[in-house]
Amino acid sequence: MGKQSIITELAALGGLSLKPGSMGRQLAARLREAIETGQLRPGDRLPASRILARKLGLARGTVADVYSQLVAEGYLESRVGAGTYVARDLGTTPFAAIPQGLARRRADLSVPPHWPRASPPFRFPEHLEKTQADMPPNARRFAVFAGRFAPQPLVPFSVAVPLAGVAPDHNWRRLGNRVRSGMEAAPTGYEDPCGLMALREAIAAYVRKSRAVVCGPENVIITNGAQQGLYITGRILLGPGEPVWAENPAYPGLMTVLEDVQARIFRIPVDGHGIDVSAGAALCPDARAAFVTPSHQFPLGMVMSMARRMELLAWARTCGAWLVEDDYDSEMRFSGQPFPALQGLDPQHVIYLGTMSKVLFPSLRIGYAIVPQELVGAFVGARTLMDKQSPTAEQHVLAAYMKEGYFEAHVRRIRKLYAQRRQSLLHLLRARLADWGSPQSGEQGMHLVFWLSAQVDDVAVALAATQEGLAVRPLSPLYGRETGRPGLMLGFGGFSEQQLEQGVEKLRLVLERHCGRA
């Protein structure tokens, strides 16, 4: 496709009715669509921002911002002195032409295949084997799980703690008073286990707009946080011995779910582009599902590139596997717009999980799963067995908060605050802890990764830090066996710049005592 024909294709966008304030968003969406459908091919050169802006009647800065966003997402690549091109590593097959699957073992979820159990038996810590030997096996197993979920104290650098005083704000409290004094939240009988319809409508509208998720309210299931969404999904998709991909490293709450359902777990390495699909296909080509964090990998923070997303979706379509997208910290992107969700590329193969805990406050305990229509009945059944339904009063408040525009304003406000906190912590780490490691840069999330020198024991450092009133998480235990790299997760969202400075100084003293000078 020549340069002039590309301009002609894109100039057609100018004939659309572009809403004020959203021209850039709509242009970005049209460019993504053109690339995904093969209208624009890998290696095609896009017109200069000045030329395209004139053709479309837009400000040049708007087009330049769109190009920068799509470069960050992996759709485009910028070549110094040569212009902007469709990324070459996306492959040459239009996305819509990827084969739709071979044996669809997912077709009958009521009778899942039971593979021979090949995963190693669950191993309990030695002290539990000795002191709780008379307990039922499941009781001992869940006791181990409880230890993994012990909340961190609200001290630096506890992860995923929102900034105090930002939420719930006065609008939330006002709406809460209004809702609770009205009839809509009055105590009644049992409600729909899918959740309050007004909230499902609000969430569906929000994720369609902000995350390019393809769904209606009928696809939305309200959960008690993302952890419940993970648990329901694991119970539905996996049986004992069935193979599943998990990222390496990965969220401990996910690993606990996969252990509980006794799945055969394959830890797939991640690199700067996200999960290594080719490595996963070599380790286990016919996994039943893959659990991924494409918008902000937990815990390392990278974004899955567009090439990897397409490769992952091609694998899932070919072998009939499900993809479970944990959209961790997606709103907390500090440069450009949040990346579109993986789900929007193929809503029939992806289960999308989100939560309000991080962006509002953890005690709210409202999350959501967005599932293909064929799985809605299974999710409703599992949800009903677990706890029937979520409490409705807070759902009413959140629905009003979202529909009246306060939620999006809140997200914009905390992005600015967290961006400042992140920059302050980065500066402190580079200035004061350079003798022991270096922070990993990133443009998203509520925590930073601080990589330690290879010889440092991050678990011992984390234990020593607790004695100084700090809450840091070691990274190496989040990896599979013998693959860990020492590092620390340092949360910054819930702490003032003064608290962060004091915390870094305490951590410096811990490292100096524990490791000495480099």
Instruction: Give the 3-state secondary structure of residue 452.
Output: strand
Taking 50 as the pLDDT cut, the residues of the chain under it are: 1-4, 13-18, 99-124, 128
3-state DSSP of 277-292 = HHHHHHHCCCCCEEEE
pLDDT of residue 104: 38
Locate tokens 């991640």: which residue?
270
pLDDT of residue 7: 53
- Could you tell me the CA-to-CA distances from 348 to 146, 155, 156, 217, 289 in Å, in that order? 34, 42, 41, 16, 13
Global confidence as pTM: 0.81
β-pairing, 322-326 vs 289-292, is parallel
Burial degree of 468 (CB within 10 A; 0-12, 13-18, 19+): middle
Q: What is the dihedral of CA 347, 352, 144, 491, to 10 degrees?
A: 140
pLDDT of residue 118: 31
Locate tokens 């939420």: which residue?
167
The CA distance from 253 to 63, in Å, is 41
pLDDT of residue 89: 78
Token readout for 444 is 């998203």
Q: Which helix (H) or strand (E) holds 25?
A: helix 23-36
Report cis status (omega within 30 of 0) of the bond before 121: no
Q: For 222, list phi and psi in degrees, rounded to 5.
A: -80, 135
Give CA 34 to chain center in angstroms.
25
DSSP letters of 387-451?
Answer: HS---SHHHHHHHHHHHTTHHHHHHHHHHHHHHHHHHHHHHHHHHHSTTTEEEPP-SBSSEEEEE
pLDDT digits (tens, 9 = 90+) for 190-238: 788 999 999 999 999 999 988 889 999 999 999 998 999 999 999 999 9
List of domains in the chain? 3-94 (1.10.10.10), 115-144 (no CATH), 189-391 (3.40.640.10), 409-515 (3.90.1150.10)
